[in-house]
Amino acid sequence: MSNRVGVIDYGGGNLRNVLNVLKFLGHEGSLVSSPKDLGSVDRLLFPGVGSFGDCVAELDRKKLREPIAAWLAADRPYFGICLGYQVLFEQSRETPGVKGLGIFDGEVVHFPARPGMKVPHMGWNEVTPTDPSFYVWQNTPDPLYLYFVHSYYPKPEDTSLIASTTNYGGDFASSISRGRTFAGQFHPERSQEAGLKLIANFLEAPL
């Protein structure tokens, strides 16, 4: 069954890639550029490439902050990618003083400088689910490798939110979940078959 999937239009450059992935998977995707656009979708996908501050400023300009927060509060299906993961938290050290959506307690921090460790963290890395039976991970490879491009990552205060960890100079929370909200620092749309399976699992879960 085809879903009505809203893709948050935050002004980033990879929106078309995500819409193409949805089409490939047999689902209808449409850009959400204003609050009224949320009325015509069943699931919400928030991709992200760019800076925390610019992303949040665009959400505020389009008056999408409160409607997205209300969507999440109602536990409606949400899949956040990269910035779509980071903006769920209170703030980011990338843009001090700028408030995120504040859905979860915690902040977005920069990878520490360590000898021989390149930042940004870029390329394929292993993602270790905390609960392999969770629906998003169903029928994905074990071990699971996904594609990353980032210098910052969230540190949830509530560690029970953590849905997977990844090691890069130490373990970090590479994804979180609560109810029908799932968000990860990796880019499933750039992670070939494994990433497509994650998105397909999200799209095929019961409403």
Q: Who's near 115: CB < 8 A, 6+ residues apart?
A: none
Beta bridge partners of 106: 156
**CA–CA separation, 136 vs 178, rounded Å?**
12
Own/partner contacts of 156-160, CB < 8 Å, gap of 24 or more, are 156/89, 156/104, 156/105, 156/106, 157/104, 157/105, 157/106, 158/104, 158/105, 158/106
Q: Let me know if 55 is a catalytic residue.
A: no
Per-domain residue ranges of the chain: 4-204
pLDDT digits (tens, 9 = 90+) for 130-161: 999 999 999 999 999 999 999 999 999 999 99
Beta bridge partners of 28: 4
Q: Let me know if 94 is a catalytic residue.
A: no
pLDDT band for 16, please (50, 70, 90 cuts).
Answer: confident
Q: Who's near 20: CB < 8 A, 6+ residues apart?
A: none
Q: In the predicted model, what is the mean pLDDT of residues 36-40?
A: 95
pLDDT band for 13, please (50, 70, 90 cuts).
Answer: low
Q: How many residues does the chain have?
A: 207
Q: In the predicted model, what is the mean pLDDT of residues 162-171?
A: 97
Single out the residue of 43, 170, 150 nearest to residue 94, CA to CA.
150
**CA atoms 186, 50, 181, 1: torsion sign:** negative
List 27, 121, 150, 187, catalytic entry? 187
List 27, 55, 82, 121, catalytic entry? 82
pLDDT band for 120, please (50, 70, 90 cuts).
Answer: very high
Give pLDDT, residue 5: 96
Give pLDDT, residue 207: 86
SS3 145: strand
Residue percentage of the chain with pLDDT more than 90: 90
List 55, 121, 150, 189, catalytic entry? 189
**CA–CA separation, 82 vs 188, rounded Å?**
10
Give pLDDT, residue 195: 97
CATH architecture of the domain with residue range 4-204: 3-Layer(aba) Sandwich (3.40)
Residue percentage of the chain with pLDDT more than 70: 99
What is the reported pTM? Answer: 0.96
**CA–CA separation, 119 vs 128, rounded Å?**
21
pLDDT digits (tens, 9 = 90+) for 66-117: 999 999 999 999 999 999 999 999 999 999 999 999 999 999 999 998 888 9
